[in-house]
Amino acid sequence: MVKKITAALGAVLLAALAACGEGGSGSAGAGGGAGGGGGDDTITMGFAQVGAESGWRTANTKSIQEAAEAAGIELKFSDAQQRQENQIKAIRSYVQQKVDVIAFSPVVETGWDPVLLEAKRANIPVILTDRAIDSEDTSLYKTFLGSDFVEEGKKAGKWLVENTTGPQRVVELQGNTGAAPAIDRKKGFEEEIGARDDIEIVASQPGDFTRAGGKQVMEAFLRSTPNIDVVYAHNDDMGLGAIEAIKAAGKVPGKDIKIITVDAVKAGMEALAKGEINFIVECNPLLGEQLMELAEKVVAGEEVPTRVVTEEGTFTSEQAKAALPDRKY
Q: Which of 35, 45, 53, 257 binds another protein (CB under 8 A)?
A: 53
The neighbouring-strand residues paired with 144 are 128, 307
Residue from 156, 162, 124 nearest 140 by CA: 124
Name which of residues 234 to 293 contact another protein (CB under 8 A): 237, 240-241, 244, 248-250, 267
Q: Based on the shown chain and the rule CB under 8 A, indicate whether residue 21 belongs to the binding site for another protein.
A: no
Residue 64 backbone phi and psi in degrees, to 5:
-65, -45
Taking the least distance from each CB to another protein, the nearer of 206 and 253 is: 206
Taking the least distance from each CB to another protein, the nearer of 117 and 252 is: 252
Q: Which of 140, 203, 286, 324 binds another protein (CB under 8 A)?
A: 203
Measure the CA–CA gap between 58 and 240, rounded to whole angstroms: 17
Q: Based on the shown chain and the rule CB under 8 A, indicate whether residue 217 belongs to the binding site for another protein.
A: yes
Measure the CA–CA gap between 271 and 317, rounded to whole angstroms: 9
Q: Contacts with another protein: how many residues (CB under 8 A)? A: 39
CA distances (Å), 134 to each of 54, 158, 266, 272, 275, in order? 24, 26, 31, 34, 37
The one-letter amino acid code at 176 reads N
Question: CA-based Rg of the chain, rounded to a whole angstrom?
Answer: 23
Q: Which of 32, 46, 51, 106 binds another protein (CB under 8 A)?
A: 51
Q: Based on the shown chain and the rule CB under 8 A, indicate whether residue 223 belongs to the binding site for another protein.
A: yes
Taking the least distance from each CB to another protein, the nearer of 28 and 201 is: 201
Residue 218 exposure: Cα atoms within 13 Å on the Cβ side: 33
Which of these segments, 19-27, 48-56, 133-141, 153-161, binds another protein (CB under 8 A)? 48-56
Taking the least distance from each CB to another protein, the nearer of 62 and 297 is: 62
Taking the least distance from each CB to another protein, the nearer of 152 and 236 is: 236
Smallest distance from the beta carbon of 175 to another protein, in angstroms? Answer: 10
Torsion of CA 23, 28, 29, 35, to 10 degrees: 150
Measure the CA–CA gap between 123 and 101, rounded to whole angstroms: 9
Chain residues that interact with another protein, rule: CB under 8 A:
6, 9-10, 51-55, 58, 61-62, 81, 174, 177, 203-206, 208, 210-213, 215-217, 219-221, 223-224, 237, 240-241, 244, 248-250, 267
